[in-house]
A and B are shown apart, each in its own frame.
Chain A
Amino acid sequence: MAGSLNKSSEVFVLSLFFYTRSLARQGLCSSRTQFSVFYRHAVPMGTSAQEEMNKFWAKNTRLNRPMSPHISIYRWSIPMAMSITHRGTGVALSGGISVFAVAALVLPGSFPHYLDLIHSLSFGPALITLSKFALSFPVAYHTFNGIRHLVWDAGKGLKIPEVYGSGYTVIALTLLTSLALTAL
């Protein structure tokens, strides 16, 4: 038997041996068994996740570590692009509402007054249509993708083909809805 043992079977025998030892050891330490993973000793951490995250970032800043390339090298996918677009439209819409609110507080005239002012500038129909589309598109996209997010939050549609399928549906609905709103 001695001469015929090769490396892989030896490793197997050893890992089996180790495994049974850890099982036996778990039987002795009854307080550890609740973790139900095959580690010899599982010890609860004394720090919170927030503290650990801060330590991680503080260390990176202190050592002046450069960030690994990520978005500059990773291949873009439809779900990835849709996700950042969802964030982008959200930030843009929120910003737009805030600008509108500040303008309402700061500017002296009323809304119809300023509307008439813009109207008197006689922008071409193309520009008006373009502006309407530019407003409708983010609203429609963020709304439909938002519904998609809520479906995910309910735990549905998380398989990759479903993610792509729902993604294409959102894009199609967005285009149709923004065109419809522009035409209104």
Chain B
Amino acid sequence: MAALVRIGSVCRGPAVPSLLFRSAPLIRPLAARKKDQDYPYFCTAKIHATPSNYAAAGSKAASLHWTGERIVSIALLGLGPVAYFYPGPVMDYSLAAVLTLHGHWGLGQVVTDYVHGDAKIKLANTGLFLLSAVTFAGLCYFNYHDVGICKAVALLWSK
């Protein structure tokens, strides 16, 4: 920081306005020199260290959830045409399961985006879980006691 002062003293000619030395970028480093000792955070980015720097390493739950979502989406894409060509109870229950899971996880993302606050998040997710459980139960009931999803779509479209 001594060099800073030296430049300053060198520049003390009439051609250079003295306002230069009052501008913030010049003053601040000088002031921070002393602060540096007390607060080693000056000019610091609050960097999130990788989990390996923490005592408890991060879990892969979120990453695995993401991958699971994509796999279910691809499965659902495949189920569509298969259900069209091979309708039946296997397709009915597979569709019920995959549809409900895809919807549950999708609505879960909507909750994560728009609901804030620990209590509200918990409430919303509980409600969502109940909804998905009832949906799956209802679809399975329909598959068992009624015509089943594939047949239902076929009937609906024939009218």
Give the B-binding residues of A (Cβ under 8 A).
Answer: 1-7, 10-11, 13-14, 17-18, 22, 35, 37, 39-45, 49, 54, 57-58, 61, 87, 90-91, 93-94, 97-98, 100-105, 110-112, 115, 118-119, 128, 132, 143, 146-147, 149-150, 153, 184
Expressed in whole angstroms, the Cα–Cα distance for A156 and B14 within the complex equals 60
Q: B17-39 CB contact bits vs A (8 Å, 1 = yes)?
A: 00010000110010000001000
Expressed in whole angstroms, the Cα–Cα distance for A115 and B138 within the complex equals 18
Q: Contact: B138 with A100, CB < 8 Å? A: yes
- Inter-chain residue pair count (beta carbon < 8 A): 145
B4 in the interface (beta carbon within 8 A): yes
Q: Which 3 A-B pairs have the closest CB atoms?
A: A101-B138, A44-B49, A94-B103
Q: How far is the CB of A159 from chain B (nearest CB, A)?
A: 21
Q: Contact: B134 with A102, CB < 8 Å? A: yes
Instruction: Choose from A3, A43, A119, A149 the contact partner of B44 (Cβ within 8 Å).
Output: A43
Q: Contact: A14 with B48, CB < 8 Å? A: no
For A128, give the chain B residue with the smallest CB separation: B159
Q: Contact: A41 with B41, CB < 8 Å? A: yes
Q: Which of A11, A97, A110 has the most CB of B within 10 A?
A: A97
Expressed in whole angstroms, the Cα–Cα distance for A58 and B116 within the complex equals 9
Expressed in whole angstroms, the Cα–Cα distance for A93 and B47 within the complex equals 41
Q: Contact: A45 with B48, CB < 8 Å? A: yes
Q: Contact: B159 with A43, CB < 8 Å? A: no
Q: Contact: B77 with A143, CB < 8 Å? A: yes
Q: List 29 A-B contacts (CB under 8 A).
A: A14-B4, A14-B7, A14-B29, A17-B3, A18-B29, A39-B47, A40-B40, A41-B43, A41-B44, A42-B47, A43-B40, A43-B41, A43-B44, A44-B47, A49-B48, A93-B103, A94-B106, A97-B99, A97-B103, A97-B139, A98-B103, A98-B135, A98-B138, A101-B134, A105-B137, A111-B147, A119-B159, A143-B80, A146-B77
User: Which residues of chain B from 53 to 102 have a CB within 8 Å of any chain A CB?
Assistant: 53-54, 70, 73-74, 77, 80, 99-100
Contact A101:B107 (CB < 8 A) given known A1-B10, A153-B70 = no
